[in-house]
Structure 1
């Protein structure tokens, strides 16, 4: 998390007390929830720093070919971090 410009010791301590130890854990909650978690620290600054981080969803699909004699695995990666456009 130290790669975020807004991160400092105080904010890292606040987050760790709430069980947040990685950037990935910060990508899920909405801005209002972030504000509740971090108290007096401005959530907008944290929210802004989170925008460039991708939130990737992996979709797997196993397909049978040739009457079940062979298989193929289709893997799709989707960036679900819609904050990038807001």
Structure 2
């Protein structure tokens, strides 16, 4: 049953001949080049933020009992 449906589909596709492709706004290499350029710009923007973690010396967070969600991971050693 399934093989008959597949054979019918293959025969129908074979009879349709050449299908016309949808028009593009530019040649494929121009579209690919533009996509590559956009991704390179996004990469450079991402890399420009890489120094934010090294800008200041890391400081331990103080234990504040008035915080709405206090840090319970220090097991009351941060007082």
- TM-score, normalisation: structure 1: 0.19
Of Structure 1 and Structure 2, the greater strand share is in 1
Bigger relative contact order, structure 1 or 2 (CA pairs below 8 A, ≥6 apart): 1
Q: Which has the larger radius of gyration?
A: 2
What is the TM-score normalised by the length of structure 2?
A: 0.21
The structure in which a higher percent of residues are helix is 2
